[in-house]
């Protein structure tokens, strides 16, 4: 989702930029990966490493081995990695080892929680990178505090918002399919181990959801679904609308007409901020503080906090952060043209 607008912008400069699109295979569920290439109207990957099994450490190691082979063959001038997933770390490490310039899109974000694997990934990749593209001002302060040179940092805005804006005119009829009216439901997404891997924690969250006075629509993540089955909690969901993982167009259509969103995701905090949809994030921290200071996001970590937040759902003032305007890809490509 973050690469799509970048690919489309680079396509305008075919005489100056030659790129190879590589998919590591890390996100291997067909409904959570392959469909995005089609919906976002970008080409199938030139290379797919097919690394989709094993522990996090095995994944990172296997991606590194296979990606190194690609780099030795293709000899790229620059490697661009996005976000904070294991693929980003693995490819960043290979770039550093081979002495290839590295650009990190969505750099500088920090939750200050080292228990989150993504936090470790962010920190390491930021220190390895030659060019760091940030989405919000907090990223700049975090990088400077970490000792990153100012001339490596570029405030370009948010590629996720580029994608969101491009997709808003492609809304689907998913509400009609599941027989819902706008603003009469809330959307739930949960996948983080801290929320779904522990039976007691998952039970408490489902109990909270059952007390919402809106219809709960839950596109369920494979990890969460597996644990609900493992803990025999399926019977607790009978009053919810449970959906398989959705494509991006269906999901954004669902979110944009919802009353509010209950999540533990990172990107949804940004999308709801742009859409001005209230967002309750079931976490103790967020690496995207601008979604709280300027956006619609509120951190909640207990039933009491949720109840209090719901009382004042529409009273939180919000605005769209700087450079979240659909032009981030253009800024990045213009910088790359000057650099290269």
Q: Are residues 188 and 97 in the same domain?
A: no
Of the listed 27, 104, 127, 191, which one is catalytic? 191
Tokens of 315: 């009273």
Q: Which residues of the chain are under the pLDDT cut of 50?
A: none
Which H helix or E strand runs over 82? Answer: strand 78-82
Residue 290 is predicted with a pLDDT of 98
Q: Are residues 244 and 188 in the same domain?
A: yes
Residue 313 is predicted with a pLDDT of 86
Number of domains in the chain: 2
| Structural contact between residues 268 and 261, judged by C-beta atoms closer than 8 angstroms | yes
Residue 31 is predicted with a pLDDT of 56
Crossing angle of helices 199-210 and 303-311, rounded to 10°: 30
Q: Are residues 16 and 137 in the same domain?
A: yes
Looking up tokens 């269906």 gives 250
Q: Are residues 235 and 257 in the same domain?
A: yes
Q: Are residues 232 and 281 in the same domain?
A: yes
Q: Are residues 9 and 94 in the same domain?
A: yes
Q: Are residues 116 and 149 in the same domain?
A: yes
Residue 5 is predicted with a pLDDT of 97
Q: Are residues 121 and 248 in the same domain?
A: no
Tokens of 92: 């960043």
Query: 138 is in which domain, residue-wise?
Result: 3-157+324-339
Q: What percent of the chain has pLDDT over 90?
A: 86
Q: Are residues 226 and 93 in the same domain?
A: no
| Structural contact between residues 186 and 215, judged by C-beta atoms closer than 8 angstroms | yes
Residue 317 lies in a domain: no
Which of 208, 257, 215 lies closest to 240 in space, CA to CA? 215
pTM over 0.85: yes
- Count Cβ atoms within 10 A of the Cβ of residue 244 and give its class: 0-12 exposed, 13-18 middle, 19 or more buried: exposed
Question: Would you call 127 a catalytic residue per the annotation?
Answer: no
Query: Left if phi > 0, otherwise alpha if psi is -120 to 50, otherwise beta: which for 70?
Result: alpha
| Structural contact between residues 49 and 63, judged by C-beta atoms closer than 8 angstroms | yes
- Report the CATH number at residue 253: 3.40.50.2000
Q: Are residues 272 and 217 in the same domain?
A: yes
Residue 141 is predicted with a pLDDT of 98
Residue 303 is predicted with a pLDDT of 87
Residue 163 lies in a domain: no
Q: Are residues 250 and 333 in the same domain?
A: no
């Amino acid at each position: 989702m973050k690469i799509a607008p970048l690919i489309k912008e680079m396509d305008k400069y075919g005489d100056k930029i030659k790129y190879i699109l590589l998919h590591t295979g890390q996100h291997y569920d067909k409904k959570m990966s392959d469909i995005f290439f089609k919906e976002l109207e970008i080409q199938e990957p030139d290379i797919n490493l097919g690394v989709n099994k094993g522990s996090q450490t095995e994944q990172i190691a296997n991606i590194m081995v296979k990606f190194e082979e690609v780099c030795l063959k293709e000899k790229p001038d620059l490697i661009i990695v996005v976000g904070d997933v294991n693929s980003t770390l693995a490819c960043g490490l290979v770039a550093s080892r081979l002495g290839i310039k590295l650009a990190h899109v969505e750099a500088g974000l920090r939750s200050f929680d080292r228990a989150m694997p993504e936090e470790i990934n962010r920190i390491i990749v930021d220190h390895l990178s030659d060019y760091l593209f940030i989405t919000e001002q907090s990223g700049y302060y975090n990088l400077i505090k970490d000792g990153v040179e100012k001339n490596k940092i570029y405030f370009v805005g948010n590629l996720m918002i580029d994608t969101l804006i491009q997709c808003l005119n492609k809304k689907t009829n998913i509400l009609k399919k599941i027989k819902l009216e706008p603003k009469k439901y809330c959307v739930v997404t949960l996948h983080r181990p801290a929320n779904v891997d522990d039976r007691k924690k998952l039970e408490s969250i489902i109990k909270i959801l059952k007390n919402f006075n809106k219809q709960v629509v839950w596109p369920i993540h494979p990890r969460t679904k597996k644990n609900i089955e493992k803990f025999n909690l399926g019977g607790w969901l009978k009053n919810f609308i449970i959906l398989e993982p959705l494509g991006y167009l269906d999901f954004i259509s669902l979110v944009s007409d919802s009353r509010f969103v209950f999540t533990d995701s990172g990107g949804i905090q940004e999308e709801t901020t742009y859409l001005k949809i209230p967002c309750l994030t079931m976490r103790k921290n967020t690496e995207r503080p601008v979604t709280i200071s300027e956006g619609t996001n509120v951190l909640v970590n207990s039933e009491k906090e949720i109840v209090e937040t719901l009382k004042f759902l529409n009273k939180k003032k919000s605005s769209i952060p700087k450079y979240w305007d659909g032009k981030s890809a253009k800024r990045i490509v213009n910088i790359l043209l000057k650099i290269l």
